[in-house]
């Protein structure tokens, strides 16, 4: 699968900027959302190839958003990668149980983000 469109979701503008920076060399179309609700709406409307999403956010958090995406036929096949400071073992298992493909721990190196893309 060629990644052409990426949705990134984080309530922190700084973290959004960091993710954009890490992904700028991919030349993909970058969409942004600031909470889970907005991410779901954009995922349904824009059908991104992959979603990078924070976990702890106001409104709908990343876990609930991931479950909702998995539960919707139009978005269930879009891979979700969590990018979060919540990265203990329980967080990783819980993320996986909810259908996330990976969990990248903050702070991260930009190469970790692009390395994930090469797996798809």
Partner 1 sequence: MEAYYPEISGLQSGGLQPSSVVQNDLSFLENKAATEIVLGFRIDDLGFLLPVSLHCEVVERLQVSPIPNVEPWFSGLLNIRGNIVPVIDLRILIGKADSIPKKRYLFAVDRGEKTVALWIDGYPQMLTGMGQPLNDLPKLPDRLHGYVTNAYLHEGQLWLKLQLDQLFKTLGRQHVTKEAES
- In the complex, which residues of this chain contact partner 1 (CB under 8 A)? 55-56, 60-61, 63-64, 67-68, 70-71, 86, 88-91, 93-94, 97-99
DSSP annotation of 120: -
Please report how close the Cβ of residue 46 comes to partner 1 at its closest, in angstroms: 22
Nearer to partner 1, 96 or 114 (CB): 96
Query: In the complex, what is the shortest distance from the CB of residue 98 to partner 1, in angstroms, rounded to a whole number?
Result: 6
Nearer of residues 23 and 43 to partner 1, judged by Cβ: 43
Q: Which residues pair with 24 in a beta bridge?
A: none
Q: Interhelix angle for 62-70 vs 89-97, to 10°?
A: 30
Q: Which of 45, 97, 46, 99 is nearest to 69 (CA)?
A: 99
| Cross-strand pairs, 50 | 6
> 42 or 67, CB closer to partner 1?
67
Specify the residue, 21 or 96, whose C-beta has the smaller distance to partner 1.
96
The DSSP bridge pattern shows strands 80-84 and 5-9 to be unpaired
């Amino acid at each position: 699968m060629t990644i052409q469109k990426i949705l990134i979701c984080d309530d922190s503008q700084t973290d959004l900027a960091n993710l954009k920076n890490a992904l700028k060399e991919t030349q993909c179309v970058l969409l942004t959302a600031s909470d889970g609700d907005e991410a779901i709406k954009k995922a349904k409307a824009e059908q991104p190839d992959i979603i990078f999403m924070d976990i702890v956010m106001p409104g709908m958090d990343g876990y609930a958003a991931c479950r909702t995406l998995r539960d919707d036929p139009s978005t269930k096949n879009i891979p979700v990668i969590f990018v979060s400071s919540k990265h203990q073992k329980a967080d990783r298992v819980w993320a996986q149980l909810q259908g996330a493909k990976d969990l990248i721990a903050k702070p991260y190196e930009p190469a970790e983000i692009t390395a994930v893309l090469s797996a798809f």
